[in-house]
Structure 1
Amino acid sequence: MNRPINMKTIGILGGMSNQATASYYKMINDEVNKVYGNWDIAETIIQGVNFGNIEYFVRNNKWDEAQLYLRNKAILTQKGGADLLICVSNTMHKVLEDISNSIEIPFIHIVDPTAEAIIDSGLSKVGLLGTKATMEADFIKNRYKNNYGIDIITPKEDLQILIDKIIFDELVKGKILESSRKKYIEICQDLKNKGAEGIILGCTEIFLLLRQLDTPDIPLFNTTELHVKAAVKMALNHK
């Protein structure tokens, strides 16, 4: 094998949260190591942001400020040598839909690999779990529907508030509670009863709490894992 190995540098727009970012970094390196083995891992640049700023923007609907903040961070990531960019938050894709106006490197939208996995599974109607900002808005739902013909079902508002609270008060702080897992399982069953054929884990920390073995009769689509695999595929030029 010729050294150095020729691979693209993955730019990771992280810090949203540090839990998700740590998972992304580990999973990206694990995926590359599966290909090359030995001591080989990915070439990455992590542009971490202050999650306190993100939490403030989201909770106060400061989306214009969030967009400016993340666009500047994305530009810094490209200047640092990234060949492609991913953002480790479903919610913050709300302000990155047209990021190509600010950077020249490819941006892998988190919806796209997830939608492809849903289609490959033969499904067309799925439930969505995520932050309240993700579940109540149209930016994620519309991309699934308009680009892939996938219908999205979301929990009712009181359950959205509960899901959001568990994310912000527990998961982003590394707290994994069995009581919260049971609540998420119940919500998944409710979405299934409403016609969902599967569930999108549409927040990059949810997979830390909810596992496929928790809902054996409902396929789960882990956006974190699917996003990682898409980034590694591009980085290694796999067709």
Structure 2
Amino acid sequence: MTRSTAEPVDSEQRILLRIGAVCAIAGPLVLGASFAPHGDLPTREESLVGEAVALRFIADHQTWLLIHLGTIVAGLIWLGAFVALANTLMRGAARAVGRFLIPSAIVGSLFVVFDYGVDGYALKVLADEWATATGPEQEALQRMAETGIWFLNGTFHSEIVVFYGLTMLLAGLAVALDARYPRWFAVAGAIAGALVLTNGLLAFAGVGLAPAGGTDLFLFVMVLPLESLWLMVLGRLMWRNAKRRVAQPPVE
């Protein structure tokens, strides 16, 4: 069955499609620029010595605050893309899914802001204080860092489940139900989101299906680049749809 892709858009939708397209393309670019200089935070050692290595890494990282601010900005731009997408869906089923997409994207972006705000600012301040402290004061700061990092593990996994998992799954399903987008492309996005969502939920349940290297490798090396590419292609498609003829008001 041939799917119709010639549905006209009104002027408001055209603006939203263009805003969404710009956000969908810019968001992954900003995210990649902020992730690239981050480096791998050494927190796998199970001792205060391990936390000392992590604190030294953060204290010596001159752009720690800046790159985390970039990640927060990227998350908000992704949010703009998802909200614009949800408000430009045209078919009934697609619009219904879009109603769930918006709150999921908002909650997910809040986790991004909180997680990278604490990680970027609070840990940096703590690491700088630790670097100049000595004796018992330095040991107390290490224990604070250990608690903070374990706390951030929870918000990080929540971010994965909601933002990169559930939200991407809903975006893929919504696009699949809208006749203007290739269904195979939409299904690919939904599958990526479902994989991240499943892995995140199983991590909460204490079951790890991530490959060697853990969740970080699975998300940042394997899946997130694919989701970023998918979002950028979606931006290109949204921009193309914005060029369709403007719907004419009915003649009274």
TM-score of Structure 1 vs Structure 2, range by shorter chain: under 0.3
Q: Which has the higher strand share?
A: 1
Provide TM-score, normalisation by structure 2: 0.25
Q: Which has the higher helix share?
A: 2
Query: Which gives a bigger RCO, structure 1 or 2 (Cα 8 Å, sep 6+)?
Result: 2
**Whose Rg is larger?**
2
Provide TM-score, normalisation by structure 1: 0.26
